[in-house]
Chain A
């Protein structure tokens, strides 16, 4: 069974731009969660989608948004990028939301 796939692996953007990250979950998994990892804050929950609906959201500004498609693939968008958005963005999929399986992440650098 293929694992969680995140694209792209690396991104470089400048302040003010927007970015879209993609995540393909494990086949059969309908829950997709997104996390941000930074050296200072660790792994922090962004949001979770299940059957195309956002069920849970972390404490991030509205510039961070996401969506899920009917095939369970998910995208995350960050608008008006700030330097502090530089981080590793991780996507995880699960069957029911508890045991989550992570992708390799997208490393975003904002210059």
Chain B
């Protein structure tokens, strides 16, 4: 049962344009969402997060949008740069009964390629 889904395995974007990565979740108890970037042979790097009490959070070129009614979040990167090419994971935290300590549930990842 995959509770966090990234339905697009890959995304290709031209440098300078917007990259939009999508993520859907099924568990309504999730209350905190994160995006990570991962290069080969490295651990995931935290990018940006959002609490369920918000619908948008910005940090520089990165903006995360949360639509709780649709159980959907997206990461916008503007403008996209070749150095952004990596695997992007969305993750969620928070489960019923307060048993979510330290547990992030990850999507399968989306490979972003930004062409010069």
Q: Which of B12-20, B54-62, B68-76, B102-110 contacts A (4 or more CB under 8 A)?
A: B102-110
Interface residues of A in 86-106 (CB under 8 A from B): 90, 92, 94, 97-105
CA distance A7 to B32 in the complex (A): 30
Q: Across the interface, do A99 and B49 meet the contact criterion of CB distance under 8 Å?
A: yes
How long is the Cα–Cα vector from A6 to B102 in the complex, in angstroms? 18
* Contacting pair A31 B102 (CB below 8 A): yes
Contact A45 B103 (CB under 8 A): yes
Q: How far is the CA of A30 from the CA of B14 in the complex (A)?
A: 41
Output the nearest chain A residue to B33 by Cβ-Cβ distance.
A98
Name the interface residues of A22-61: CB closer than 8 Å to any CB of B: 31-33, 35, 42-45, 48-50, 55-56, 58
Residues on A with beta carbons closer than 8 Å to the beta carbon of B91: 43
Task: Number of A interface residues at 8 Å Cβ cutoff, please give it.
Answer: 28
B109, A90: Cβ atoms under 8 Å? Answer: no
Interface size bucket, B side? 20 to 34
- A54 smallest CB distance to B (angstroms): 9
Nearest CB of A to B23, in Å: 13
Measuring CB to CB, which residues of chain A are less than 8 angstroms from any residue of chain B? Answer: 4, 6, 31-33, 35, 42-45, 48-50, 55-56, 58, 90, 92, 94, 97-105
Q: CB within 8 Å of A: which residues of B?
A: 32, 34, 36, 41-46, 49, 89, 91, 93, 99-109
19 extra A-B contacts, CB within 8 A, seeds A49-B102, A98-B49: A4-B43, A33-B103, A33-B104, A35-B104, A42-B106, A43-B44, A43-B89, A43-B91, A44-B106, A45-B102, A45-B103, A48-B101, A90-B43, A97-B100, A98-B32, A99-B46, A102-B36, A102-B46, A105-B43
